[in-house]
Each structure stands twice: as C-alpha cells, then as structure tokens.
Structure 1
C-alpha cells in the first residue's frame, strides 16, 4: 500500500509532445520557445522604456538576436554532442532538426549577443545597458523553454525515490519503434524509470534568480552590463549543480560533463566583469536611439548621431540632450528622492 501511494505521488511525463493538425505538426518544445521569446520581448521592452530607451527597440534588436541565438544554441549542442550526429551510426542530417530539442544556452547567449550587438550598433545604443534591461526577461524565457524539455522527456537526472520524481515512459512512433527518447512518439504507459526532473529544478532556479535580479536592480540601480553579468553568474551556479545530477548522454572532459566546465568558466568570467565594470547606471539620454532605421529627414545629413530642435532662445539643441533633461527630471535621482518604475 505504501509503495502504491508513493507511486501516485510521482510526476507523470506527458503522453506526447507533438500533435498533428493534418500535415502540420504542433510541437510543444517549439511552442515553449516561441512563448518564451514573446514574453522576453514584451517585458524587455517595458524595462527598456522605463530606463529611458525608445519603445519598440527590443523588438527591433530581437530580429537580429533571436535568429543568431537559435543558430548559436544549436551549434553549441551539436559541437558538444557531435558523436550523436557524426560518429559511428550517427545521422548528420539530424543536426538540422532543431525541433527535436537540443539548444545549448551558452551558444544561444554568445551568438545571440553578437546579433544584439549588431542591432544595438544600428540603433546607436550601448549594448551593456540593453543587456541589463533584457537580462531578467531572457532568464524567464529560459524557464519557459524548459517546459518543452518536459514534453520531450529529456534533460532529466538520475533515478530517485523522492515524491516529486518524474516518470519516464516508453513511447511508440508511427514506424513501430519503441523507446523513451522518441520525440514524435506516444506513450505506451510503461514506466521506464523514475528520475529527478532536473529541467524543472533549472526552471525553478531561473525564476528565483529572475526575482533576485529585479530586486537588486530596483534597490541598487545596476547598470553598464553588470546586471546581465549577475544573471550569467547566478545561472551558472545553478546549472553547475544541476549538471551533477544528470545522467543522460553528454560529452565529457576528464570524466566531467562539458557543461559543468563551461558553467564554471563562464561564472568566473561573469563575476570578474561585475567587479571591474563601471558602477552606477547609464544616463537615460544615452539610451535613446540615435540612428533611426529609416532614411534621414530632408535637410538633415545622414549618419548624424542626433536630431536637433530649437530651444526657447532659438539656439539649436540636440534632441537627445533635450530628452535627457526631461528624463532626468522624471527619474529617481538623488535630487528628488523618488523611485521610477523599472518595468519589472
């Protein structure tokens, strides 16, 4: 009776992760990634505007950062698990099937950062400030994306008897193949193992860090890329611990999972950046876009860094400076003791 009660306490895996509407496949993994991206863009834009930036900037930069990030995430996954695709018995074309799961966060952040840098250059805004605005939203998007791993029955840990253990089922696909790793299959109802839901641990850790980042940002007004670095460092700490619990297939260095090495190295680099980076937060005037995407208005030389407008005395005043003065009056600087909403 005790064993039966314990079994009922376990978390069951979803019976499937793919649904078909005629020839169209709806994949839970892809839907979670899309939802995460939308949340990050909407919340990130709100945070960016609250810091003094222009509305719509995050979406414009996401057009560059998201494709770069998806490619980078897949490249990292394939490079660190190349025997699966290019080793003996591997299927090289499977390396292109991103919908089956397999996006390395390190590659996504690295190459996504390159895309964001391009977008920021085009808008004439500082990348570190942009990173601080979108750091909590990005991490929340990661947590949402981890739900996709739940539907794919992947990224779980070693076997366990804890009440919140995850049941992994055999799945059968249309070709008659049976196994727990068949993304396109449907559950047979046969439990293969009860394991630690490490993807859930990571998602919960991510949410905790998101809350911490928002609180830190409000209290200490972090800027110049330091909040983004704190996000990276905190995520790495959790990922390092969680990697020690996983037993699924992965590449190793000296018997240690490669993601553990990556987590440790990236964490140290992020902490160093937090220590040496410039303190304080950027002036709101620095965050307004200075290079609009469209053609320059008639009478204005293209390639300028700021529009101008006349002050009451008829003298030309940079519009960015005028915006900066307005923003400064509305900010929560020491002159008024107020606190501005940071979009969190």
Structure 2
C-alpha cells in the first residue's frame, strides 16, 4: 500500500518537481556564463586598468565591498571566496539567493501541503479511510523526499556540467581594448621660436601584471558533487521543519505563512550577522549557518566551529551535514509524534 501512496504523491508533484529542477538547472548554466564573463573578460580588464593607474586590485575589491558591499560579499560566500579564481566563482551558484529561494519554495510548499494541505482540502479523511496508518503516511512522504531531493540536486549538477562544456577552457582577454588616453602635446612660442613638448603624462605606463592563468582558470565540476550533499541536507532540513509545523496545522496557507516567516528570519539573521556584530551570536541558531557547500567543494572543511560564541576562536567542531540531516530527521519524528495523536477536524 505504501508503494501506491508514494506513486500517488509523486504523480501529484511531477509538474512542480519538473519546474523546480528546470529552474535550478538553467540557473547553473546561466551563472557559468556570468562567471566566464567576470573571470575571462572583466578581471583582465580591471587588472590592466589597475596596472596603468598603479592601484592594487585588492584595494579595488576593498573599496567595492566596503560598507553595504559587505552584505553582498557575505551573500556570495564571505572573505574566503577569491573572486579572481574560476572555481571559487563557480561555487557561488550553489549559495546564490535565487537558488536558496527556489529550494526553500520547493521544500516549504511540498511539506505544507503534505499534511495541513490534505486536511485543508478535506481529503485527509478519505486518505486515512484506506488501509494505511498515519505513521505510514509520514513514511510515504519521507520516501518521496528520498526520491525527489537527489533528483533536484542532480539537476543542478547537470546544469553545472552543461555550463562547463559551454565555457571550458576559459581564456583570458587581451589588454588591447583598454581605453587609451588621448595624446595632448604642448606647443608654445618664445620670441618667435616655437617649442613643442610631448605629453608628459604619456610616459611609459607601469607594467601591467597579468592575473595568473594556470590554476586560476581551472574548473572541476566533478567536485561540485560534495556541495550537493549540503544542498540536499538543506532541502531535507527545511522540509522536516515545515512537516513539524504542518502536522499541527489545519490550513495550508497558515502553515505556509509560519514556515516562510521562520525560514526568512533565519536567512536574514545568517546574512546580516556576518556584517553586524550584535547579531553574530544568533547565527549558529539558523539552519543556513550549517549550509556550507562552497567550503566542502573547495576542500576547506566540512564542519563549523561556533567561533561566534567564543570571540572568533574555535569553540568546537560540528559536521555541517550531521546538523542538516539531523534537523530534517528530527522534524519528521516530531511530525509523526504529533500527527499520530492529533484529531483530524471534519472538512468545513
């Protein structure tokens, strides 16, 4: 009976799943083209301009990401992400706000409709009149997650590979299109004698240092699979949280409101706390604090250290995936416990 129920749930989700997977796949392709433009064309341009003016590129970055720019920097991965490295830029697609928004819409929408949605439509009584228990219904939704979450993650990976095939190998643009200053010679006369002086500002410019190409331009889409473990964990965690709320509710839109409000608050706290110190101790209380796909992909660790609670020093290490999948599992257990014991109101 559970197989029939799972197939029924998958059939109901097929259009939403297709749209979600397609949007995530297309965004990965789109982002790869943006990354190519930044790394292969804009970066050499700014390196050349910096060389002519004698400014260090790091100083330019510091000015751009100062003040409100810090918020943008925190959204794309923080100070650890090198914007002159293709692989670092490649990973931004996995933490981009649009990607996280699509993921949250899928997880919250699916879980809100799983229990409260059925009650709201008046179909829960009909469903439970079949020879299935309430625990079996929760288990069926868990099986649906086990099937759909990998499909969503694989759609992102496929999009990254398509983008990789479109732009690889990355080649740096030449500096020939850098804007040149117009020549302005100075000519004047003294006692009928004409004197012409070449423009002193057009002395030989300071040598321009090419951004390092080898290694900096290398893309390794196979490494993105490690980050998808975190993406799947985030989807599962948000689904579990929403399932727990859905198990207590009667109206789907009310559950949606509660879940969206909670997820939005956690997202904003996680982002703003990176640039506003008073909020920093609250960051480990958000689920997004444990979503670290970039660090996993780039080989910079699979755990968080709770330095926010210890004045910037490591307090203790906790694996990110353990928290993400643990929260999702706990959410399902809570929803099962509540749903087993609650009364199902008659449809109005």
TM-score range, shorter chain: under 0.3
Choose between structure 1 and 2: higher helix proportion: 2
Structure ranking higher on relative contact order (CA contacts 8 Å, 6+ apart): 2
TM-score by length of 1: 0.26
If you compute each CA radius of gyration, which structure gives the higher value, 1 or 2? 2
TM-score by length of 2: 0.25
Choose between structure 1 and 2: higher strand proportion: 1
